[in-house]
Amino acid sequence: MEDDGEGGRAVLAPLELQAVSTVVLRCRQERALGRLNEQLRACRPRTLMQAPDDGPDYVATSEVVVQLCYALGCRVIPRATPRSSWWMKRRTGGTWEDLRQCDGGTEDYFRQKLCMSLRVFREIVEACAPHLQRRVTFYREPLQLDQIVAYGLYRWASGETYKNNKCNFGIGRASGLVVVRDVTAVLLQVYEEKIAWPAGVRKLVVLRAFANKGFPNCHGCIDCAHIYVDKPANAPSENYYDRKRYFSIVAQVVVDLDLHVLDVHMGYPGSCHDIRVLQLSSLW
């Protein structure tokens, strides 16, 4: 405490003034809290002794809740779908963002990345739409349909691993595995008749073209390719060890003169000879 030097009146120092202000503020808070507790204790017996007719209409409130739940169940009221930042980590767009650009280079970029034109890609998306629609959930927005199809096609066209593709399309590795599996199943279902042997006029054209090249009565060309895989965990590794010293499975493919695929037979270990694969296929 200090003297002001004029009338001999004592003046509090700044530190003492701050301490006094803190004590006064604390006392006011305690007083306000005590008054609030007294009001709550006074209202509690009054609520218990209140007649049912004087209280709120709990039955009407329950009916409103039931009607609201029924409306949500019937999809009359759209549900909000906030995107959660912790449910799925969104990656950068990469190749997918470039494919979505509508400019003069889009057509060439589609042929470079997906090995098809933009028109063919849109036809595939339209054909697969009824089978690949993702359900809207409370956790996040679903992946776009064209993004799903583009991811599967890019996976097959480029041969890249899932580790690289997830950055190119903004899709995680687990979701990418599911997407490729679903797109594969849908394409086999929708375009089941596309992989077939030529018939009618097309058959005559193919036979004549091969005959002109010195191969009479030839419908197509056949060969086997090795698809590299990781070392199998639950199978003898030597069965999948091919002559090039890689782990692989054998794929037997038949194509026509325009390199259109006519027949595919695959799944045998890499050590299996091409003749053995042919004997085990439906062509033998």
Q: Decide if pLDDT at 208 tops 80.
A: yes
pLDDT in the model for residue 193:
80
pLDDT in the model for residue 148:
86
> What's this model's pTM, rounded to 2 decimal places?
0.54
pLDDT in the model for residue 64:
56
Name the percent of the chain lying above pLDDT 90.
Answer: 7
Alpha carbons within 13 angstroms on the beta-carbon side of residue 57 total: 5
pLDDT in the model for residue 91:
46
- Alpha carbon distances (Å) from 129 to 109, 120, 144, 187, 202: 23, 14, 10, 11, 30
| Distance, CA of 194 to CA of 205 (rounded, Å) | 18
Amino acid at 163: K
Confidence of residue 89 (pLDDT cuts 50, 70, 90): very low
Q: Please, which residues have CB within 8 angstroms of residue 263's CB and are 6 or more apart in sequence?
A: 195, 197, 220, 252, 253, 254, 281, 282, 283
pLDDT in the model for residue 212:
92
Q: Which of 92, 214, 112 is nearest to 164 (CA)?
A: 92
| Distance, CA of 35 to CA of 28 (rounded, Å) | 11
pLDDT in the model for residue 72:
59
pLDDT in the model for residue 250:
92
Confidence of residue 223 (pLDDT cuts 50, 70, 90): very high
Which sign does the torsion angle of CA 132, 126, 155, 233 carry? positive
Q: Decide if pLDDT at 80 tops 60.
A: no
Return the CA Rg of the chain.
37
236 pairs with which residues across the strands?
A: none
Confidence of residue 67 (pLDDT cuts 50, 70, 90): low
Strands 261-269 and 221-228: unpaired
Confidence of residue 114 (pLDDT cuts 50, 70, 90): confident
- H/E run at residue 86: none
| Distance, CA of 245 to CA of 270 (rounded, Å) | 10
Quote the mean pLDDT of the chain: 75
User: Taking residues 27-36, what's their average pLDDT?
Assistant: 75
Helical spans, DSSP H, in the chain:
14-48, 58-73, 95-99, 106-114, 118-132, 145-158, 162-169, 173-190, 201-212, 274-280
Q: Decide if pLDDT at 270 tops 50.
A: yes
Residue 247 CA from chain centroid, whole number = 30
| Distance, CA of 259 to CA of 274 (rounded, Å) | 20
| Distance, CA of 104 to CA of 157 (rounded, Å) | 22
| Helices 145-158 and 162-169, axial angle in degrees (round to 10) | 140
- Residue 265 vs residue 163, higher pLDDT: 265
Residue 234 CA from chain centroid, whole number = 29
Q: What is the pLDDT of residues 209-221, one digit of tens each?
A: 999 989 998 989 9
User: Taking residues 199-204, what's their average pLDDT?
Assistant: 88
pLDDT in the model for residue 222:
92
Q: Decide if pLDDT at 62 tops 60.
A: no
Q: Are 270 and 247 in contact (CB under 8 A)?
A: yes
